[in-house]
């Protein structure tokens, strides 16, 4: 812990580390930072994520973005072009394969060879490190929209070097959000440090006049995550990134399903992040938001899946999110066809267009949800700062050790796993067990009352069975996991 601190990495130290990072795989040697900066500057404006997000903010748009990635570049371009032209996507992703996420580049190389032999993708994403700089640039040059790197990599330093030099203009992830929900044994200290490098790299591009957007991964484990828990992680990752010089940040949240709570979540995420960043002296950050359509179990029936997608699109639009990450009607079946992916996009596009000029009124219920989220976030972040003695990086590690930050259903052994969420009687996510979260007594009482209300309605105790029922509910055609008659 003694070495970890929330302090901008000195330039000399950064460049020394870079030498080692670029040696991790032969393609790293092709990256020339000065040349990469010039390449990014020369990209046309319509391929720059930060510019498109700022335009959407000004015009009150909610942009739509799919998830997609395959092993070989020609097939990737074909897939993404289809999602642009047929699916009407506003922004494009490149999802990175699982081997690359674990820095297993030899296995990724085999996956490329097998994909070439079989004539179809044998990987669940694009192995950008193996393909290297020139191939990444060919992909970017063949597309007409800004492209984001989406992955799930605890140590994403080399991937960042190659993809940023390759012309990608947005990089997802963070030292918390790409560790605790994804890895079992990777220390938080290590991933925060590795992501400080990623943010320092993007901060360096920024210093040279290149705007690259950063997006912490909002949904975390993607199932019944209370808004305050994901907000705390998003705000911490924003603070850590801002210290390294990042200026463009998109903070995210995963849909829970109760409209009022979801709208409250996006609105408070923006307000709280802005407040914390400004208080810490980062007053020139360009902040946007992303809403992820339901990340949990989906119905197998396509028509029912469209309903879930449409409900997510509705919440995204009414909350005023800058963009929405779109699911597909094949979600329950596995990797979707390009046609299914485009269908989810078109359904979402129709709804966000129809709702463009509408918003949810600031009712007493909405105000109550917003107040509750703000109280919870402030209570947790105050404790994080106290534990870190004013240092957000140290505080984060100590907060996870103490269970002050706790992510439900996460695989990491560095996560306490004591909190349990469940839905109340109107489907909002509450705490069945608050674990060691430092929540005020009135907040705890509010959650207990809401769950007791549901228990009374269903004539049962609020127990772990309720949690299980809620996890499977949407896949079974409802929001709240009501007991069977």
**Which are the catalytic amino acids?**
101, 172
93 is in an annotated binding site: no
- The answer to whether the annotation marks 150 as part of a ligand binding site is yes
Q: Nearest-5° angle of CA 222, CA 224, CA 229?
A: 85
327 is in an annotated binding site: yes
458 is in an annotated binding site: no
Known binding residue 298? Answer is: yes
Longest CA–CA span in the chain (Å) reads 67
Is residue 137 a known part of a binding site? Answer: no
Q: Which of 76, 22, 89 is nearest to 49 (CA)?
A: 89
> Residue 220 and residue 168: Cα distance in Å, rounded?
23
Q: Rounded distance, CA 278 to CA 450, Å?
A: 34
> Is 101 known as a binding-site position?
yes
181 among the known binding-site residues?
yes
19: annotated binding-site residue?
Answer: no
Dist. CA 417–CA 424, nearest whole Å: 21
Which helix (H) or strand (E) segment holds residue 466: the answer is helix 464-473
Phi/psi at 406 (5° precision): -150, 125
Annotation-wise, does 99 bind a ligand?
Answer: no
The single-letter DSSP state of residue 291 is E
Query: Would you mind telling me the total number of residues written for the chain in this entry?
Result: 485
CB 68 within 8 A of CB 77: no
Question: Is 378 within any annotated ligand binding site?
Answer: no
3-state SS string over 93-115?
EEECCHHHHCCCHHHHHHHHHHH
Structure tokens at 341: 């992916």
For residue 73, say whether it is annotated as part of any ligand binding site: no
CB atoms within 10 A of CB 359: 14
Give the other-Cβ count within 10 Å of 104's Cβ: 15
Cβ neighbours for 24, distance < 8 A, ≥ 6 positions apart: 103, 105, 157, 158
Two tokens at 250?
């998109």
Positions at the binding site for adenosylcob(III)alamin: 69, 124, 181, 298, 327, 331, 335
Positions at the binding site for L-glutamate: 67, 101, 150-151, 172, 178, 182
Positions at the binding site: 67, 69, 101, 124, 150-151, 172, 178, 181-182, 298, 327, 331, 335
């Amino acid at each position: 812990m003694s070495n970890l601190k929330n302090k901008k990495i000195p330039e000399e130290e950064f460049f020394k580390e870079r030498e080692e990072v670029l040696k991790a795989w032969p393609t790293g040697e092709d990256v020339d930072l000065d040349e990469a900066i010039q390449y990014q500057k020369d990209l046309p404006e319509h391929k720059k994520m930060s510019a498109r997000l700022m335009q959407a903010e000004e015009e009150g748009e909610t942009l739509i973005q799919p998830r997609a990635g395959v092993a070989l570049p020609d097939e990737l371009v074909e897939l993404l072009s289809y999602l642009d032209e047929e699916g009407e996507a506003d922004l494009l992703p490149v999802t990175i394969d699982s081997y690359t996420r674990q820095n297993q580049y030899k296995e990724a190389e085999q996956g490329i060879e097998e994909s070439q032999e079989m004539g179809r993708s044998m990987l669940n994403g694009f192995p950008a490190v193996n393909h290297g700089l020139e191939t990444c640039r060919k992909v970017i040059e063949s597309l007409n929209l800004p492209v984001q790197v989406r992955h799930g990599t605890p140590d994403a330093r080399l991937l960042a070097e190659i993809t940023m030099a390759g012309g990608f203009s947005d990089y997802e992830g963070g030292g918390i959000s790409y560790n605790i929900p994804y890895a079992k044994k990777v220390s938080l200290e290590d991933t925060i440090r590795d992501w400080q490098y990623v943010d320092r790299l993007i901060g360096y591009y920024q210093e040279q006049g290149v705007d690259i957007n950063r997006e912490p991964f909002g949904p975390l484990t993607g199932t019944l995550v209370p808004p305050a828990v994901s907000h705390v992680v998003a705000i911490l990752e924003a603070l850590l990134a801002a210290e390294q010089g990042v200026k463009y940040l998109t903070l995210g949240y995963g849909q829970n399903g109760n409209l009022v709570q979801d709208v409250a979540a996006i609105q408070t995420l923006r307000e709280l992040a802005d407040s914390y960043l400004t208080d810490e002296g980062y007053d020139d950050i360009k902040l946007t938001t992303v809403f992820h359509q339901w990340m949990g179990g989906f119905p197998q029936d396509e028509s029912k899946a469209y309903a879930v997608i449409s409900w997510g699109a509705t919440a995204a639009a009414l909350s005023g999110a800058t963009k929405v990450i779109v699911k597909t009607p094949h979600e329950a079946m596995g990797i979707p066809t390009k046609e299914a992916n485009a269908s989810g996009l078109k359904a979402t596009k129709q709804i966000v267009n129809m709702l463009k000029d509408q918003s949810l009124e600031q009712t007493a219920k909405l105000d109550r949800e917003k107040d509750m989220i703000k109280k919870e976030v402030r209570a947790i972040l105050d404790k994080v700062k106290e534990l870190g003695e004013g240092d957000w990086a140290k505080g984060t590690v100590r907060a996870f050790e103490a269970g002050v930050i706790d992510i439900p259903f996460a695989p990491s052994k560095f996560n306490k796993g004591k909190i349990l969420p469940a839905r109340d009687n109107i489907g909002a996510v509450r705490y069945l067990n608050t674990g060691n979260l430092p929540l005020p007594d009135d907040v705890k009482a509010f959650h207990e009352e809401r769950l007791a209300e549901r228990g009374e309605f269903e004539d049962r105790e609020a127990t772990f069975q309720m949690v299980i029922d809620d996890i499977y509910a949407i896949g079974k055609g409802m929001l709240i996991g009501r007991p069977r008659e």
